[in-house]
């Protein structure tokens, strides 16, 4: 793994600590301490997860062009122990030079005196400013909150060694708007995490923004999960996609992002860059079948940026994609694989289909929207026929089918509205079905027509007397 900057090195070391915490069966603490003694910053990344195996650091490669020797000497100080060890082992690892020439120096160990604990601390000293590291590390933890890993509590501590001697601390614990059980599935945690990420304006707030989200009905969220089969050539992969659609009321704190959507990416429970497979999957989806028109999907390194055409100004879409192995991998960085384009596409489409299924009128296809536009005129015509009829039984049966009271006079507008609701309901029901299994739209109203009536006889019965035959517009 090439390290192109000090910031990336720190993020990769923090990601490794998160993986060690996930492998532990106990609650873990992850601590990042930045101690400034200008012009040097000492960075300490410690965790109480499973002990570290030095193999996980073997793939780290220091890019000479990215990190000059004047910023960092390439030395990592590693202290680690597992629950079964009776010592804390101490190493110096030099990442400068070629891998074959790299030298690992073992330093004197520290006795644990029969204490039972595990953990790792990685330290390095760099010539950099606090602010240059702080924003990237805080942004990393804010994104990690989306995953809601249940067994990890993280803290970021800044100690300034200047005259002010300031010490400040950020603790990244999920302040949950919707608490989860410890046994909740990964996708349930991802849904809850994205929900809070949106409610708290990308986790920049400690609590839900009540001025933008006065009601939970303004936020609609759904998920899709796609799985691949395990084989000797590739590990079994899982792709989870979660989509949130929010309707914002006018508020002072809401900052519109226009017709754009950030698609956050995670790989093996850590924020990741955008893969080519993911971009290809996003651009290959038939967005028009969900009432959306894609303009572009661009790689922005830590997320993909989708631009839509004519997205309503009050509507905003957030999306997150997480790809990981079915089985827990000890060192995910050593397992090279590319997420599958078809698997990502399937996960996103399942999330979109779930949104359409749960929320009436949401994400209707362009074709369905066009047909719905004819519903008012059609409803008005049908209502006129019903109300102008002198056949009492006919009008009574129509009122029954429309679930309208027969004991009082009913106005034309009421009849029109009820017929329009039923027409649109049928259109939406048919639009929610995948293209491959779509059937002819069901009858608007159920009747007691014999089910075994021959179709030819049915046609003659309905059109007897030379009535005109109408077809629906495209």
The predicted model gives 269-293 an average pLDDT of: 92
Tokens of 214: 């006065």
Of 122, 1, 102, 105, residue with least CA distance to 51: 122
Residue 9 confidence (pLDDT) above 80: yes
Angle at 342 between CA 336 and CA 343, to 5 degrees: 65
Query: Using 50, 70 and 90 to split pLDDT, how confident is the model at 468?
Result: very low
| pLDDT surpassing 60 at residue 470 | no
pLDDT at 225 (0 to 100): 96
pLDDT at position 461: 45
Tell me the average pLDDT across 68-88: 89
Asked whether the predicted pLDDT for residue 156 surpasses 80, the reply is: yes
Distances (CA, A) of 465 to 176, 383, 459, 468: 67, 22, 12, 9
- Residue 241 pLDDT > 90, yes or no? yes
Residues forming a β-bridge with 243: 222, 319
Percent of the chain with pLDDT over 70: 77
Q: Which of 56-65, 120-129, 444-453 has the highest mean pLDDT?
A: 120-129
Res. 110: pLDDT tops 60:
yes
DSSP class of residue 474 equals: -
For residue 10, pLDDT over 70 is answered with: yes
Contacts of 290 (CB under 8 A, 6+ apart): 352, 356, 363, 364, 365
Segment (H or E) for 295: strand 294-299
pLDDT classification of 3: cutoffs 50, 70, 90: low
Residue 243, pLDDT above cutoff 90: yes
Q: What is the pLDDT of residue 330?
A: 56
pLDDT of residue 411: 81
Per-position DSSP letters for 76-102, written without gaps between them? EEEEEE-TT-SEEEEEEEE-SS-STT-
Helix or strand or coil: residue 465? coil
Q: Does pLDDT of 458 surpass 60?
A: no
Gyration radius from the chain CA atoms: 30
> pLDDT (tens digit, 9 = 90+) per residue, 67-77?
777 788 888 99
The confidence score (pLDDT) of residue 177 equals 56
**pLDDT of 346-357, one tens digit each?**
999 999 999 988
Nearest to 239 by CA among 339, 149, 103: 339
Average pLDDT over the chain, rounded to whole?
81
Residue 464: predicted pLDDT: 43
With H, G, I as helix, E, B as strand and everything else as coil, classify residue 438. Answer: coil
On the question of a cis peptide bond just before residue 369, with omega within 30 degrees of 0, the verdict is no
Distance, in Å, from the CA atom of 344 to the CA atom of 241, rounded to the nearest integer, reads 8
The DSSP output letter for 436 is: G
Query: For residue 436, how far is the Cα from the chain centroid?
Result: 27
CA distance 343 to 323: 9
Q: Would you place residue 472 in the very low, low, confident or very high pLDDT band (cuts 50, 70, 90)?
A: very low
Asked if residue 198 lies in contact with residue 244, where contact means CB atoms within 8 angstroms, the answer is yes
Rounded to an integer, what distance in angstroms lies between the CA atom of residue 141 and that of residue 224? 24
Confidence grade of residue 473 (pLDDT, cut at 50, 70, 90): very low
Largest CA distance in the chain: 103
Residue 13, both tokens: 């070391």
Which segment, 37-46, 99-108, 395-404, 423-432, is predicted with the most confidence on average? 37-46
Question: Tell me, what's the pLDDT at 469?
Answer: 37
Q: What local confidence, expressed as pLDDT, does residue 331 receive?
A: 55
Q: Taking a C-beta distance cutoff of 8 angstroms, is the pair 81, 112 a contact?
A: yes
Cα(427)–Cα(441) distance, integer angstroms: 7
Examine the pLDDT at 456 and tell me if it is beyond 50: no
Q: What is the pLDDT of residue 365?
A: 86
**How does residue 166 score in pLDDT terms, banded at 50, 70 and 90?**
low
pLDDT, position 336? 59
* Predicted confidence (pLDDT) at residue 343 exceeds the cutoff of 70: yes
Give the closest residue to 148 by CA, choosing from 98, 182, 97, 106.
Answer: 182
Look at residue 183 in the predicted model and tell me its pLDDT: 82
Q: What is the pLDDT of residues 376-429, one digit of tens each?
A: 999 999 989 988 888 888 888 888 888 887 666 678 888 899 899 889 888 888
Residue 64 DSSP label: T
| pLDDT score, position 221 | 94
pLDDT score recorded for residue 218: 79
Higher pLDDT among residues 216 and 257, named by residue: 216
pLDDT tens figures, 192-240: 999 989 888 777 777 777 777 766 677 899 999 999 877 666 668 999 9
Question: What is the structure's pLDDT at 328?
Answer: 64
Contact 248, 314 (CB under 8 A): yes
Structure confidence at residue 474 (pLDDT): 40
């Amino acid at each position: 793994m090439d390290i192109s900057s000090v910031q990336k090195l720190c993020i990769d070391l923090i990601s490794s600590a998160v993986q060690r915490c996930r492998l532990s069966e106990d609650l873990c603490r992850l601590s990042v301490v930045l101690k400034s003694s200008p012009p040097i910053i000492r960075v300490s990344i410690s965790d109480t997860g499973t002990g570290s195996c030095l193999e996980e650091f073997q793939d780290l490669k220091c890019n000479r062009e990215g990190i000059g020797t004047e910023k960092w000497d390439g030395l990592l100080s590693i202290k680690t122990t597992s629950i079964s060890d009776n010592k804390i082992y101490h190493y110096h690892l030099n990442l400068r030079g070629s891998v074959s020439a790299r030298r690992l120096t073992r330093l004197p160990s520290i006795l644990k005196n029969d204490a039972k604990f595990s953990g790792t601390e990685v330290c390095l000293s760099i010539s950099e400013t606090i602010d240059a590291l702080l924003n990237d590390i805080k942004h990393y933890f804010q994104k990690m909150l989306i995953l809601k890993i249940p067994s990890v509590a993280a803290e970021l501590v800044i100690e300034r060694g200047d005259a002010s001697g300031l010490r400040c601390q950020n603790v990244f614990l999920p302040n949950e708007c919707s608490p989860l059980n410890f046994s909740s599935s990964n996708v349930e945690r991802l849904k809850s995490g994205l929900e809070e990420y949106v409610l708290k304006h990308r986790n920049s707030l400690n609590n839900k923004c009540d001025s933008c989200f006065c009601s939970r009905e303004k936020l609609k969220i759904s998920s899709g999960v796609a799985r691949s089969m395990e084989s000797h050539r590739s590990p079994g992969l899982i792709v989870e996609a979660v989509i949130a659609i929010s309707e914002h009321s006018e508020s002072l704190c809401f900052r519109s992002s226009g017709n754009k959507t950030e698609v956050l990416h995670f790989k093996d429970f850590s924020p990741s860059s955008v893969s080519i497979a993911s971009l290809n999957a996003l651009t290959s989806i038939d967005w028009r079948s969900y009432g959306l028109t894609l303009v572009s999907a661009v790689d922005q390194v830590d997320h993909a940026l989708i631009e839509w055409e004519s997205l309503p100004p009050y509507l905003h879409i957030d999306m997150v994609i997480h790809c990981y192995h079915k089985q827990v991998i000890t060192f995910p960085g050593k397992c090279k694989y590319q997420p599958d384009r078809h698997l990502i596409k399937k996960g996103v489409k399942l999330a979109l289909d779930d949104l359409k299924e749960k929320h009436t009128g949401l994400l209707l296809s362009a074709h369905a929207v066009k047909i719905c536009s004819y519903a008012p005129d059609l409803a008005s015509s049908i209502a006129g026929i019903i109300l102008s009829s002198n056949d009492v039984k006919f009008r009574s049966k129509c009122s029954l089918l429309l679930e309208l009271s027969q004991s009082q006079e009913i106005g034309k507008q009421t009849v029109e509205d009820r017929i329009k609701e039923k027409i649109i309901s049928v259109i939406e029901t048919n639009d929610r079905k995948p293209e491959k299994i779509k059937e002819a739209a069901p009858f608007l109203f159920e009747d007691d027509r014999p089910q075994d009536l021959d179709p030819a006889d049915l046609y003659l019965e309905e059109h007897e007397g030379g009535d005109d035959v109408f077809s629906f517009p495209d």
